[in-house]
Amino acid sequence: MTQRKKLLPTLSLFSGGGGMDLGFAVAGYSLVASIDIDPFSCKTLELNSRKRNFLKEIKILDRDITKTPTSQIINLIGLQNDNIDVVIGGPPCQAFSVFGKRGGINDPRGNLVWEYLRIIKDLNPTAFIFENVAGLKTIHNGSLYNNLLEALSCDGKYAVSDHTYELADFGIPQYRRRVFFIGCKKGIRIPQMNPTHGEEGTLLKLRPFVTVGKVLNRMPEPGDALPNHIGREHSDRIIERYRNLKYGERDHKTRINKLHPERPSFTIIVGSDAGGGKGHIHPFSPREVTPRESARIQTFPDWWEFYGTGRHVIRQVGNAVPPLFAALLAEHIKKFVFGHKKTTTYEQFINRLGLRFLK
């Protein structure tokens, strides 16, 4: 008896805390493997793959991709004669971020984009999705962006569409601009997704933005009721400063902002390799939001537990693509690349992910 071919076998590179993996999995893609050099991220993926059916067949590889030949990846995940239909992932973005020093190709992390390209060339998937910060488009006066577009085409084998999205425009409770390069071997250029959410009172018939207040409302106080819901200890002086801030105002010492309950969050930030990643200031309590609250803002369900403590969790949360947006993008790609007719809605993805706090 022959084994039935999996639906859209997908390889995840630079997987991190699993935002892209989870989103594509709930959209019906078969995640065969996730690769990351961070052992904490790999433990997170292992921990959560056992909780739902979405990722039950995934293999997690704790590997340095620069020292891992593609042939070794194929052997480790036991592909044999099977093919990878889709490759997803975003090489570390700090080299291109407007929040960092913008070293670009002069930063070793920036050079990881070429490792991504190496694996695309070796595996020859039908499609790939390359995610990064929007700042990638302007670094080195745009030369890196143009070189990357040309390189990702693999000498014309792929038609590459590049889309810049403000994720709040798609029902994510956070202002977060990201660029997505979508390569398709069929020569198809993928149209941009149309916004579904926005400011009330505009001419477009959009749903209102999803707000911080909706996400954090009725959440238990920090403690053991939810995973990763332990916050930082603050001195009385910091508590008093946070209490006196207006919504949207930045604290001059910690340089983080007080969230406005009637707006999406500011972008969740990561910090450097040495630490420094922090949540924003809670809109109702004089404290920083916990990693769990940041994870909600990133649309991770409460059942998705991050392995590690402190900066290890904050980095996984802050680096992630929000799973809900990843699912919407994955559905869009299924339609235009693979010809799928059935469309899963925003509300259906909320249910699949278990995002009760967005209802």
CATH entry, 9-199+322-358, from 3.10.20.30, 3.40.50.150, 3.40.50.620, 3.40.50.1820: 3.40.50.150
Q: Give the range with max mean pLDDT: 51-55, 211-215, 218-222, 271-275.
A: 211-215
CA-based torsion, 15, 17, 19, 21: positive or negative: positive
CB 142 within 8 A of CB 169: no
This prediction's pTM: 0.92
Identify which has the larger pLDDT, 279 or 153: 153
pLDDT digits (tens, 9 = 90+) for 155-203: 999 999 999 999 999 999 999 999 999 999 988 899 999 999 998 766 6
Instruction: Report the catalytic residues.
Output: 93
pLDDT at res. 149: 85
- Structure tokens that stand for 17 in this block: 């805390």
Q: Is residue 278 scored above 70 in pLDDT?
A: no
**Predicted confidence (pLDDT) per residue in 292-331, tens digit:** 999 999 999 999 999 998 889 999 999 999 999 999 999 9
Q: Would you list the domain boundaries of the chain?
A: 9-199+322-358
Query: What are residue 53's phi and psi, to 5 degrees?
Result: -80, -15
- Residue 157: phi, psi to the nearest 5? -70, -35
Opening angle at CA 357, ends 351 and 359, nearest 5: 60
